[in-house]
């Protein structure tokens, strides 16, 4: 898949134009550093916050840029350091995979592989203080590794996420599962229930769908009655910053998924 389309998909998820570092203006490019956070650079660790809590995320970015939290939030281009954001070693084309009779496990849960999608790996190895056990071992395997987290899917931005986190979510007739953040272990459920984002590529005019493939912490996740939805509970009295801490500690994106609609 053309790299420009991958960036378009990432932009659709985040809600602002995401570009490679090489596309930055020379003056801005000179201010980038591989060893320091920069307010115009989107890191892998920022991705979940940018997608789920974009109002607060952009406010934080704007504060870093201006030093003034009261200044209107600035939604301009953001850039990614490709070598520190993507990890092409773990990319995989599932568009024509047909091994649906094989049962895969991740985190002691059935792993519904993203058949029909292109997977672009994010560079998450050694990005978290607690190591890499949450990912399990790399490579093609059917069994779970000890201490790894199970897989979930989601691509909802602020409107959907805040709607879910602010109210009781009703995924079916009369089904109310509680306040919190929802994702699903089945990418087909994510696609059919609007958990993916759709965009039209400026590159080729085709329509694509995009979502995140995550790992979710089984210690804080609850499984709903019909097992299609997983809930990270967020109490009603929780502040915005606490909400973010709960979600960031429970869900870690590790792949970007794209498919032609």
Give the model confidence (pLDDT) of 47-85 as tens digits. 887 877 665 666 666 666 656 555 544 557 889 999 999
Q: What is the pLDDT of residue 51?
A: 79
Q: What is the pLDDT of residue 30?
A: 86
Q: What is the pLDDT of residue 224?
A: 80
Q: What is the pLDDT of residue 122?
A: 97
Choose among 242, 241, 216, 80: nearest CA to 154.
216
Choose among 213, 254, 24, 223: nearest CA to 108.
223
Low-confidence ranges of the chain (pLDDT < 70): 34-36, 53-75, 156-177
pTM of the model: 0.87
C-beta of residue 232 within 8 angstroms of C-beta of residue 251? yes
Q: What is the pLDDT of residue 159?
A: 43
Bridge partners of residue 151, in order along the sequence: 215
Q: What is the pLDDT of residue 19?
A: 94
- Helices assigned H by DSSP within 88-220: 158-166, 187-192
CA-CA distance, 52 to 40, in Å (whole number)?
Answer: 18
Q: What is the pLDDT of residue 35?
A: 65
User: What's the CA angle centered on 111, arms 110 and 113, to 5 degrees?
Assistant: 145
């Amino acid at each position: 898949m053309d790299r420009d389309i991958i960036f378009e998909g990432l932009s659709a998820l985040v809600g602002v134009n995401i570009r490679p570092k090489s596309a930055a203006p020379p003056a801005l490019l000179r201010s980038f550093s591989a060893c320091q956070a920069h307010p115009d650079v989107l890191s892998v660790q920022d991705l979940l916050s940018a997608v789920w809590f974009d109002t607060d995320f952009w406010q934080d970015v704007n504060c870093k840029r201006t030093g003034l939290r009261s200044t209107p939030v600035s939604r301009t281009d953001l850039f990614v350091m490709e070598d520190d954001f993507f990890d092409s070693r773990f990319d995989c084309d599932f568009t024509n995979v047909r091994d649906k009779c094989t049962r895969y496990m991740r985190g002691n849960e059935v792993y519904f592989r993203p058949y029909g999608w292109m997977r672009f790996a994010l560079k998450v190895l050694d990005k978290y203080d607690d190591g890499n056990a949450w990912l399990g071992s790399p490579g093609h395997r059917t069994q779970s590794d000890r201490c790894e987290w199970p897989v979930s899917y989601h691509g909802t931005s602020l409107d959907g996420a805040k709607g879910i986190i602010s109210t009781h979510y009703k995924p079916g007739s009369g089904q109310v599962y509680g306040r919190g953040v929802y994702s699903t272990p089945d990418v087909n459920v994510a696609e059919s229930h609007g958990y993916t984002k759709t965009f039209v590529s400026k590159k080729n005019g085709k329509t694509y769908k995009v979502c995140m493939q995550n790992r979710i912490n089984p210690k804080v996740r609850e499984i709903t009655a019909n097992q299609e939805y997983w809930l990270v509970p967020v109490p009603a009295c929780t502040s915005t910053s606490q909400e973010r801490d709960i979600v960031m500690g429970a869900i870690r994106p590790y792949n970007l998924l794209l498919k032609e609609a």
